[in-house]
Amino acid sequence: MDNLANLRQEYKKHQLTEELAHSEPLKQFAVWFQEAMNSGVAEPNAFILATVSENGTPEARVMLLKGVDNGGFVFFTNYESDKAKDLADFPVATMCFLWLGLERQVRISGPVHKVTREESEQYFHSRPRESQIGAWVSPQSQPIPSRDFIEKRLQETMQKFQDKEIIPLPSNWGGYRLVPVEIEFWQGRPNRLHDRLLYSEHEDGRWEITRLAP
């Protein structure tokens, strides 16, 4: 750990100018997401989800983006997890994507709503059978006595569903959609003088682009 202060990487692969940026942030996100996919970065759909807990502290954890549609960013989780409790108390969140291979970060903030049951059904049934069973097994975010507890529940749940072709969607599992009101695209540049373009939504639905100091 001695050399931490000397770890230093210059960012010089790309730039983000007002001329290059798309006027619509979701289209700009689509361009960068495709480039992240093409560049082979690990788990390009992984992002940090920040929420506000009951006592006002920020909470953050890694999640996987599963769709961008109806003007929002969709992810799936357990509706009784800590993050779900946070979102019930404060239905707002920030998502932060890091695509290090491209020296890029995207931060997205806005209100969060549950997706419809039909949308959750559709995604749930597209998952591998084992993952569907996993959703039944884990009381996400609850303290459990041991690893054995989960293994035992897995065996019991597999047995319960062994004759069922279709695993039902658990009532405590589903998706959320974050509808952005702000999206910031950050492109690493030399000498720590990075490009930052912030898209903010006006009441009439128009997006304004502001350059922020790095």
Ligand X SMILES: Cc1cc2nc3c(=O)[nH]c(=O)nc-3n(C[C@H](O)[C@H](O)[C@H](O)COP(=O)(O)O)c2cc1C
Binding string, residues 121-160; x marks residues near ligand X by CB under 6 A: -------------------xx-------------------
- Per CB under 6 A, the segment of 69-77, 91-99, 187-195, 198-206 that binds ligand X is 69-77
> Which of the following is catalytic: 192, 196, 206, 211?
192
Q: Tell me how far, at minimum, the Cβ of 178 lies from ligand X, in Å.
A: 13
Q: Which is nearer to ligand X, 23 or 39 (CB)?
A: 39
Q: Tell which one of 20, 31, 37, 64 touches ligand X (CB under 6 A).
A: 64
DSSP state letters, the chain: -TTGGG------S----TTTS-SSHHHHHHHHHHHHHHHT-SSTTEEEEEEE-TTS-EEEEEEE--EEETTEEEEEEETTSHHHHHHHHS-EEEEEEEEGGGTEEEEEEEEEEEPPHHHHHHHHHHS-HHHHHHHHH--TTS--S-HHHHHHHHHHHHHHTTT-SSPPPPTTEEEEEE--SEEEEEE--GGG--EEEEEEE-TTS-EEEEE---
Q: Does 172 contact ligand X by CB under 6 A?
A: no
Query: Which of 81, 94, 120, 132 is in the footprint of ligand X by CB under 6 A?
Result: 81
Does residue 192 carry a catalytic annotation? yes
Nearer to ligand X, 21 or 49 (CB): 49
Task: List residues near ligand X by CB under 6 A.
Answer: 43, 46, 59, 61-64, 75-78, 81-83, 140-141
Instruction: Just list the catalytic residues.
Output: 192
